[in-house]
């Protein structure tokens, strides 16, 4: 799971912002339980990660995608001896369940549970007791819930352990600012039927070497034939005046050509301007600035967010048209 656990400090404002000391980031997530001996095979075939050979105790990040590799959700898979938990951290959990239910056959030895709600608590700048090693998870013991690295996953209604409860939850604007600063895609702004994992910087959640799975042909073509036409970038605009920069606003290059599209935006306090995320066309990836809206719109300074993982070599990472 790509979440920064220690606030980063970047030279260029406003990206030098860090959450207050002793904070935690709370994210509502969906839990979907799959039981039965065919659980890993089904998840292997219906998500982007190599899951079939996973062992109990493993934690794998994956993407739930459609037949043309369009995004449905970002998810974590927690493997155990009886099946697995699918944790939907961004996207529509009910849509993910519906998609899985449609592909299950009577012969599949899988029991698909109902969606339940949970909260993923991520400490920022603080580490609680007994974090799990990378790529593994552990039950909390007597308290319902799971430990995922330094994060804690709790079913809805469960009380955080004392060490976690003592950390201040981020305010809503702080949560969104942290998400945008790290470059973590959300639904429906970035995760939707128009985007694929490589565009959103989720390459580590894709296995190109595993066997047949939904969306495989599309992802293989994107990786082989330089097919990723745009990538996620974060942006900052200082001089906006009395206007607003809203999702859906087009971006223009210096010659007035199409540069991309804003997907998320947030107005910062104290006159710091606006920040957000945008999908930037490949030809403009090396441009330090693009203009929002039209030829008179504000200039947006672009940078690669820390959470972004570049597409496979040759998959649209060259700034050529």
- Cα 153 from chain centroid? 16
Question: Which residues, other chains included, contact 68 with Cβ-Cβ below 8 Å and sequence gap of 6+?
Answer: 215, 218
Backbone angles phi, psi at 101, to 5 degrees: -60, -35
- CB neighbourhood size of 61 (10 A): 20
Is the Cβ–Cβ distance between 262 and 244 less than 8 Å? no
- Give the tens place of pLDDT for each residue, 99-155: 999 999 999 999 999 999 999 999 998 778 889 999 999 999 878 999 999 999 999
The structure tokens 């290059």 sit at: 253
The structure tokens 């066997």 sit at: 211
The structure tokens 């042909």 sit at: 217
Q: DSSP class of residue 141?
A: S
- Give me the half-sphere count of Cα atoms (radius 13 Å) on the Cβ side of residue 256: 3
Characterize the bridge pairing of strands 137-139 and 146-148: antiparallel
Give the length of the chain: 321
Note the pTM of the prediction, 2 decimals: 0.91
Element counts in the chain: helices (H) and strands (E): 5, 15
Domain 23-171, architecture per CATH: 2-Layer Sandwich (3.30)
Question: Which residues, other chains included, contact 173 with Cβ-Cβ below 8 Å and sequence gap of 6+?
Answer: 266, 269
Rounded Cα–Cα distance for residues 207 and 184 (Å):
20
Tokens representing 36?
């039965």
Is the Cβ–Cβ distance between 122 and 5 less than 8 Å? yes
Full pLDDT tens readout for the chain, 321 residues: 444 443 333 346 799 999 988 999 999 999 999 999 999 999 999 999 999 999 999 999 999 999 999 999 999 999 999 999 999 999 999 999 999 999 999 999 999 999 999 999 999 987 788 899 999 999 998 789 999 999 999 999 999 999 999 999 999 999 999 999 999 999 999 999 999 999 999 999 999 988 788 888 889 889 888 789 999 999 999 988 778 999 999 999 999 999 999 999 999 998 899 999 999 999 999 999 999 999 999 999 999 999 999 998 754 444 433
Q: Where are the domains of the chain?
A: 23-171
Q: Please give the full DSSP string across 31-77, using - where no structure is assigned.
A: EEEEESTTHHHHHHHHBSS--TT--TTBEEEEEEE-TT--EEEEEEE
pLDDT for 315 equals 47
Rounded Cα–Cα distance for residues 304 and 309 (Å):
9
pLDDT for 124 equals 93
For residue 265, give the H/E element and its range: strand 258-267
Q: With H, G, I as helix, E, B as strand and everything else as coil, classify residue 259.
A: strand
Is the Cβ–Cβ distance between 128 and 165 less than 8 Å? no
- Give me the half-sphere count of Cα atoms (radius 13 Å) on the Cβ side of residue 47: 30
Question: Minimal CA–CA distance to 175: which of 19, 2, 21?
Answer: 19
Question: Minimal CA–CA distance to 191: which of 282, 119, 99, 264?
Answer: 264
Tokens representing 119?
């909260």
The residue ranges of DSSP E strands in 57-160, in sequence order, are 59-65, 71-79, 83-91, 111-124, 137-139, 146-148, 151-155
């Amino acid at each position: 799971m790509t979440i920064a656990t220690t606030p980063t400090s970047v030279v260029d404002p406003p990206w030098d912002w860090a959450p207050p000391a002793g904070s935690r980031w709370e994210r509502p997530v969906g839990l979907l339980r799959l039981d039965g001996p065919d659980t890993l095979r089904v998840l292997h075939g219906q998500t982007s990660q190599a899951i079939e050979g996973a062992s109990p105790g493993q934690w794998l990040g994956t993407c739930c995608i459609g037949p043309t590799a369009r995004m449905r959700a970002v998810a974590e898979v927690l493997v155990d001896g009886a099946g697995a938990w699918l944790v939907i951290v961004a996207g529509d959990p009910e849509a993910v369940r519906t998609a899985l239910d449609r592909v299950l056959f009577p012969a599949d030895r899988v029991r698909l549970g109902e969606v339940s709600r949970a909260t993923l608590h991520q400490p920022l700048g603080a580490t609680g007791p007994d974090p799990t090693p990378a790529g593994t998870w552990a039950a909390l013991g007597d308290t319902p819930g799971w430990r995922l690295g330094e994060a804690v996953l709790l079913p809805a209604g469960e009380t955080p352990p004392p060490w976690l409860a003592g950390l201040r939850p981020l305010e809503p604007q702080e949560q969104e600012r942290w998400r945008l600063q790290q470059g973590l895609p959300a639904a429906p702004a970035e995760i939707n039927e128009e985007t694929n994992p490589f565009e959103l910087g989720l390459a580590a959640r894709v296995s190109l070497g595993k066997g047949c799975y939904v969306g495989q042909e599309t992802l293989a073509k994107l990786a082989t034939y330089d097919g990723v036409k745009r990538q996620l970038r974060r942006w900052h605009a200082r001089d906006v005046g009395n206007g607003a920069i809203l999702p859906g606003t087009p971006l223009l290059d210096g010659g007035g050509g199409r540069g991309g599209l804003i997907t998320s935006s947030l107005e910062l306090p104290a006159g710091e301007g606006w920040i957000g995320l945008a999908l930037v066309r490949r030809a403009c990836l090396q441009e330090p600035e693009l203009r929002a809206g039209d030829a008179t719109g504000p200039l947006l300074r672009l940078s690669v967010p820390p959470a972004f993982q570049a597409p496979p070599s040759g998959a649209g990472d060259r700034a050529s048209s």
